[in-house]
């Protein structure tokens, strides 16, 4: 399966809820860390809360699919944001994606996955038949190997740079 994202944008805020609805998107699956929030943030920002509310007003559900192994990280953040989640999702495997689709009742063709990593978020979404949207990482965090991983992903990022993006500005 492809490691090339369907689309690439600056951040989740480039996903305009009204345009998502107009293109038949009913479910936004999202990675948590470095996609929706920096690794160090325990609670959702006001901007993220507002974006989630705008999604809901347009009939689009936000659902977190995370590989996080921290016992309370994903549950506490998602509860504060008011969204459902799958943690220990096993990305790039498809189990977590299938579980999210089953919980929401939304078919893969009406969903998209947004994440910051090619080898987990994008590869997994592509394997599951879900439109993949790569965002730039919010922060580098404290892990020095993260920069190495992002450098390795560069060729795949470059291959998606010139694709049109129907869901945003």
Element holding 112 (H helix, E strand)? strand 111-115
Report which of residues 146 and 78 the model is more confident about: 78
* Number of Cα atoms under 13 Å in the Cβ half of residue 77: 28
Percent of the chain with pLDDT over 90: 70
Average pLDDT, the chain: 90
Q: Could you read off the pLDDT of 91-133 as tens digits, one per residue?
A: 999 999 999 999 999 999 999 999 999 999 999 999 999 999 9
Element holding 86 (H helix, E strand)? strand 84-86
**Beta-bridge mates of residue 62:** 28
* pLDDT score, position 155: 72
Whether residue 1 has pLDDT greater than 60: no
Report which of residues 160 and 13 the model is more confident about: 13
Q: How would residue 135 be classed by pLDDT, with cut points 50, 70 and 90?
A: very high
* pLDDT score, position 142: 67
Mean pLDDT computed over 57-79: 94
Percent of the chain with pLDDT over 70: 90
Do 109 and 128 meet the contact criterion of CB atoms below 8 Å apart? Answer: no
Q: How would residue 163 be classed by pLDDT, with cut points 50, 70 and 90?
A: low
Measured CA to CA, the distance from residue 134 to residue 15 in angstroms comes to: 11
Q: Which domains does the chain have, with CATH numbers?
A: 7-159 (3.40.50.1000)
């Amino acid at each position: 399966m492809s490691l090339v994202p369907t689309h690439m944008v600056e951040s989740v805020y480039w996903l305009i809820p009204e345009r998502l609805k107009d293109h038949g998107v009913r479910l936004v699956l999202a990675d948590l860390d470095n996609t929706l929030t920096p690794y160090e943030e325990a609670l959702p920002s006001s901007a993220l809360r507002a974006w989630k509310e705008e999604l809901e007003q347009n009939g689009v559900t936000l659902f977190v699919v995370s590989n996080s192994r921290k016992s309370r990280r994903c549950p506490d953040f998602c509860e504060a944001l008011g969204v459902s989640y799958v943690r220990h999702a096993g990305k790039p495997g498809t189990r977590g994606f299938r579980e999210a689709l089953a919980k929401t009742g939304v078919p893969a063709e009406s969903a998209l996955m947004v994440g910051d990593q090619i080898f987990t978020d994008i590869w997994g979404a592509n394997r599951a038949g879900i439109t993949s949207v790569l965002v730039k990482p919010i922060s580098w965090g404290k892990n020095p190997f993260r920069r190495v991983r992002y450098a390795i992903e560069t060729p795949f990022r470059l291959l998606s740079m010139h694709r049109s993006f129907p869901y945003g500005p």
